[in-house]
A = this chain, B = another copy of it.
Amino acid sequence: MQQSPLAPLTKKTLSDIARESLSRYIGQMLNAGQTKLPSEVELARILSVSRTTIRRALTDLEGKGTIMRIHGKGTFINPNLNQMKLDLYTGHDYYQLIRKSGFEPGVKVLSRVVQEASPLQRSDLGLKEDDQILALNKVYYADEKPCLLCINYFPQTLYDWDTLSDEVLEAFPFELIQEYAGIRCVRDSTEITTAGGNEVMAYTMGEDLLQCDSLLILDSIYYDNNNTPVFLSKTYFNTDYIKFTMIRAIEQI
Q: Are B216 and A216 in contact (CB under 8 A)?
A: yes
A 79-92 binary contact with B (CB < 8 Å = 1; else 0): 11000100011111
Query: Chain B residues near A185 (CB, 8 Å)?
Result: 250
Inter-subunit contact B252/A189 (CB<8 Å): no
Interface window among A143-151, A157-165, A190-198: A190-198
- Flag if B186 contacts A88 (CB, 8 Å): no
Any chain B CB within 8 A of the CB of A70?
Answer: yes
Cβ of A167 within 8 Å of any chain B Cβ, yes or no, is no
The answer to whether B194 touches A239 (Cβ under 8 A) is yes
Q: From residue 171 to 207 of chain A, which have CB atoms closer than 8 A to chain B?
A: 174, 184-197
Interface residue? A117 (CB, 8 A): no
A84→B250 contact, CB < 8 A: no
Whether a CB of chain B sits under 8 angstroms from the CB of A68 is yes
A5 within 8 A of B: no
Q: Is A130 close to B, CB under 8 A?
A: no
Instruction: Tell me whether B194 and A248 are in contact (CB under 8 A).
Output: no
Q: Which residues of A contact B (CB under 8 A)?
A: 8-11, 65, 68, 70-71, 76, 79-80, 84, 88-92, 174, 184-197, 213-216, 220, 222, 225-227, 239, 243-253
